[in-house]
Structure 1
Amino acid sequence: MIENIEKMVKVAYDAIDDKLGEDTIILNVGKISSVADYFIITSASSERQVKAIAHNVEDELKKNDVCVISKEGQDTSRWILLDYGDVVVHIFHDDERDVYSLERLWKDAPNVDIDNLV
């Protein structure tokens, strides 16, 4: 059982790291949006790796009794979005991340250092 949102972010981050997600960032969007408290954004160099990261995030959070509310992009594996309510995980293929540039779109959201989170 996960005690708080920050612990959920840590579990998701570690699951991404286990599958070698690239350039992973955490944005604290809670003060500028009602969509979520945190966005975790990562990328991978292949569709297979994008899918593997998504599955690992789901598996690790499920082990902690946290189930995904909604997921998008499983069919193409170019951009998979996992919505956990307070935490939204974006897993991009490298090419798609450059196109959508969520970091630029949410530039007012502060970056969070995982070591300072939990």
Structure 2
Amino acid sequence: MTDNKKLSLIIDTADDKRAVDIEVIEVSEITSIADFFVICSGNSERQTIAIADAIDEKMYENGYELKSKEGHRSGRWILLDFGDIIVHIFHKEDRVFYNLERLWIDGKKVDVDNYVD
């Protein structure tokens, strides 16, 4: 299972970059691709890219390996794969369209406040 520090780093960094509507879904019991999805939004492509870059940098500084990054150029839906945690950073309009929260409704919502410093 994911250590709390890793999840806290991601959530705190997204919050520091003013990510909107940060949600965490525990998916470990319904899929083998990850333990958690972190989903957040930015108000522009520039902001989503800044959020992604900040999370990538903070995780690297703390010794966590980024396994894959997708969508960085467009800034509409950026995916950062840290193995046990997958971070989805959406432009606010695209988040409404794709509605991952509905697709992963069987996952367990995690109280983000437990991970924010």
Gaps of 5+ in 1: none
Gaps of 5+ in 2: none
TM-superposed CA distance for 1:63, in Å, is: 1.0
Q: CA RMSD in A?
A: 1.3
Aligned 8 A contact 2:28 2:34 in 1: yes
One-letter amino acid of the counterpart of residue 6, structure 2: M
Corresponding position: 1:48 with 2:49: no
- The match for 1:26 is 24
Aligned in 2, Cα 1:75/1:117: closer, same or farther, shift over 3 Å?
closer
TM-score by length of structure 1 reads 0.93
Corresponding position: 1:65 with 2:68: no
Q: Secondary structure at the match of 2:83?
A: coil
TM-superposed CA distance for 1:84, in Å, is: 0.4
- The match for 1:109 is 107
One-letter amino acid of the counterpart of residue 56, structure 1: A
d(CA) in 2 for partners of 1:11 and 1:37?
A: 16
Aligned 8 A contact 2:22 2:112 in 1: no
d(CA) in 1 for partners of 2:4 and 2:109?
A: 14
TM-superposed CA distance for 1:22, in Å, is: 0.3
Q: Work out the number of aligned pairs and report it.
A: 115
Aligned 8 A contact 1:48 1:77 in 2: yes
Stretch deviating more after TM superposition (4-13 or 56-65): 4-13
TM-superposed CA distance for 1:117, in Å, is: 5.2
Q: Secondary structure at the match of 1:91?
A: strand
Q: % of aligned pairs identical?
A: 45
- The match for 1:89 is 87
Aligned 8 A contact 1:5 1:86 in 2: no
One-letter amino acid of the counterpart of residue 28, structure 1: E
TM-superposed CA distance for 1:7, in Å, is: 1.5
Aligned 8 A contact 2:79 2:86 in 1: yes
d(CA) in 2 for partners of 1:33 and 1:117?
A: 23
TM-score by length of structure 2 reads 0.93
